[in-house]
């Protein structure tokens, strides 16, 4: 058996030459398109890496600011409630509703310190004492005055008050 000799015919020679030239052209076009796409992808990856680095820096800055604000807020805790305790009301035969009225009146007079920070509340202790001690109370035609025995300033302000007859 013998392989036919197609290489001698010019039509076959043109066909094979066209195949070789077409293969080279298609390979060069493929390499060009692939290179352009890879270049675009590498630029996109670089941009994304820069965006990620920038976002990490921003995140770190925000976290530091958040921690700083938390520390400042912990230092400036606000007053949440006021509790008043009349410690010797039973000694003067005051009924529970009278004791509750006195405690509620004092709490209403001191309502201005609610939602203030503890530093402001602690600097206004003399003012709170004067507000409580100046106001007279009268029940059953008897005048009473109050004296502050203890003030505890935390987020829940606690004040102990003694009652006595006004002179």
- The pLDDT value given to residue 60: 94
pLDDT digits (tens, 9 = 90+) for 87-101: 988 888 888 888 899
Question: Would residue 85 be called left, alpha or beta, if left means φ above 0 and alpha means ψ between -120 and 50 degrees?
Answer: beta
Mean pLDDT, all residues of the chain:
89
For residue 157, what are the β-bridge partners? 82
Q: Which residue has the higher pLDDT, 103 or 71?
A: 103
Residue indicated by tokens 């001698």: 8
**Low-confidence winner among 2-11, 63-72, 85-94, 106-115 (lowest mean pLDDT):** 2-11
Domain boundaries, the chain: 9-75, 81-165
Q: What confidence category does residue 1 fall into, taking pLDDT thresholds of 50, 70 and 90?
A: low
Q: Which residue has the higher pLDDT, 49 or 116?
A: 49
Instruction: Provide the Cα torsion 125, 154, 110, 84; round to 10°.
Output: -110
Both tokens of 129, joined, read: 């004492």
Both tokens of 167, joined, read: 């002179």
Upper half-sphere CA count for residue 51 (Cβ side, 13 Å): 6
Residues 6+ apart with CB under 8 A from 150: 158, 159, 160
Query: How far does CA 69 lie from the centroid of its chain?
Result: 8
Quick check: 134 and 92 in contact, CB under 8 A? no
132 vs 124: CA distance, rounded Å: 12
Extended strands (E) in 52-133: 81-86
* Helix H or strand E encompassing 1: none
Q: Whole-model pTM?
A: 0.58
pLDDT digits (tens, 9 = 90+) for 9-65: 788 788 888 999 999 999 999 999 999 999 999 999 999 999 999 999 999 999 999
Residue indicated by tokens 């529970």: 96
């Amino acid at each position: 058996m013998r392989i036919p000799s197609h290489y001698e015919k010019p039509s076959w020679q043109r066909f094979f030459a066209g195949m070789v030239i077409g293969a080279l052209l298609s390979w060069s076009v493929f390499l060009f398109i692939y290179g352009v796409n890879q270049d675009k992808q590498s630029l996109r990856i670089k941009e994304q890496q820069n965006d990620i680095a920038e976002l990490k820096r921003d995140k770190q800055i925000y976290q530091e600011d958040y921690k700083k604000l938390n520390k400042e807020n912990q230092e400036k805790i606000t007053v949440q409630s006021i509790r008043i305790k009349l410690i010797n009301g039973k000694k003067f035969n005051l009924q529970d509703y009278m004791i509750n009225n006195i405690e509620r009146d004092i709490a209403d007079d001191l309502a201005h310190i609610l939602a203030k920070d503890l530093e402001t509340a602690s600097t206004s202790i003399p003012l709170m004492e004067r507000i409580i001690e100046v106001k007279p109370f009268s029940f059953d035609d008897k005048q009473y005055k109050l004296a502050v025995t203890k003030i505890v300033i935390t987020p829940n302000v606690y004040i102990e008050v003694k009652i006595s007859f006004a002179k």
